[in-house]
Amino acid sequence: MGVTETIDIYHAIAGLFVGGLVGLTGVGGGSLMTPLLVLLFGVSAKTAVGTDLLFAALTKIAGSAVHGSRETVEWTIVRRMALGSIPAALVTLVVLALIGKVGESTEQIILVSLACLLALTSLAVIGRKWLFRHAHDCSARRSAGREVGGTIVLGALIGLAVSISSVGAGAIGVTVLLVLYPQLQVARIVGSDIAHAVPLALIAGTGHWIMGDVDGTLLTNLLIGSIPGVVVGSYLSTHAPDRVLQPLLAAVLAISSWQLFVKATAPEKVKIEAIAPARAVETP
């Protein structure tokens, strides 16, 4: 089979769309791609999560390179988050490996977890500005120790959430970082969050790959679109129209959350027709 025969234009377009949003806002690697794979392309939840983790890692390598060249990464924040996220991800992967093959009930749990995290992410996107103003009011009362501790705890929670569902390293991480570090520019928060997501997603994605939850062909097609998308989005991040982009993103996340919840709670009634069903990804 030739290279051109393995390229799926729909997957590449999805990668381009999500990659652009990741570069612009730091959001989308898991919050949008996993629901797209499950709802539109008919991918099983566990394969969508595993493939999306490596997709997010490789996409955000390109995004963090751009942010790093523009000096919009706070490496101290990245290290603090990694202190919590990396151990949490490793422990979660060991537990998932011990559980073994994901059955129907477990897959429903994954879908419900995704739905809840997407709903929380949608609220986080809507409430960013309010949280940012509130953080400024509280910054004078925050000690350095609580700032460091809060960042490590945030990393641990994100490591757990990302390893299970691939969601959490984007909007939730960016929003909490805005509260913890209100003195930093939003572009530096976004750049730091993207840089932190790279090692976390690589570790979690590798774990899922070892467990057989990654589809290589699907991953390649997504990356064909996402790499140029995240580069362009990262360069445009300082010019993104927040008043338009954030409400739109919040609406997409909310709709995805609702659809995933419906699919998880009534799978026998809800039939999602996949784009190009003959090439839909099937899990052995």
pLDDT digits (tens, 9 = 90+) for 184-200: 777 788 788 888 888 99
Distance CA 176, CA 186 (A): 12
What mean pLDDT, rounded, does the chain reach? 78
What pTM does this model have? 0.72
- Residue 252 near residue 41, CB atoms below 8 Å: no
**Max mean pLDDT range (4-8, 59-63, 101-105, 185-189):** 59-63
Q: Name which of 250, 222, 279, 177 is nearest 60 in CA terms.
A: 222
pLDDT tens across 133-171, in order? Answer: 666 566 555 566 678 898 999 899 888 888 887 776 776
Alpha helices (H) in 40-185, listed in sequence order: 45-69, 75-99, 104-126, 128-138, 144-165, 171-180
Position 132 pLDDT exceeds 70: no
Encoding tokens for residue 160? 């757990």
Greatest mean pLDDT range, 72-81, 109-118, 242-251: 72-81
Structure confidence at residue 222 as a pLDDT band (50, 70, 90)? very high
Handedness of CA 168, 85, 19, 211 (dihedral sign): negative
Of 266 and 220, the structure prediction assigns the larger pLDDT to 220
In the predicted model, what is the mean pLDDT of residues 221-244?
A: 81
CB atoms within 10 A of CB 204: 32
Is residue 107 predicted with pLDDT exceeding 70?
A: no
Question: With the C-alpha atoms ordered 119, 125, 126, 127, is the resulting torsion angle positive or negative?
Answer: positive
Residue 239 reports pLDDT greater than 60: yes
Q: What is the DSSP letter of 273?
A: P
Residue 231 pLDDT greater than 70, yes or no: yes
Helix (H, G, I), strand (E, B) or coil at 172: helix
What is the average pLDDT across 15-27? 82
Q: Which residue has the tokens 């919009």?
A: 72
High-pLDDT (> 70) share of the chain, %: 76
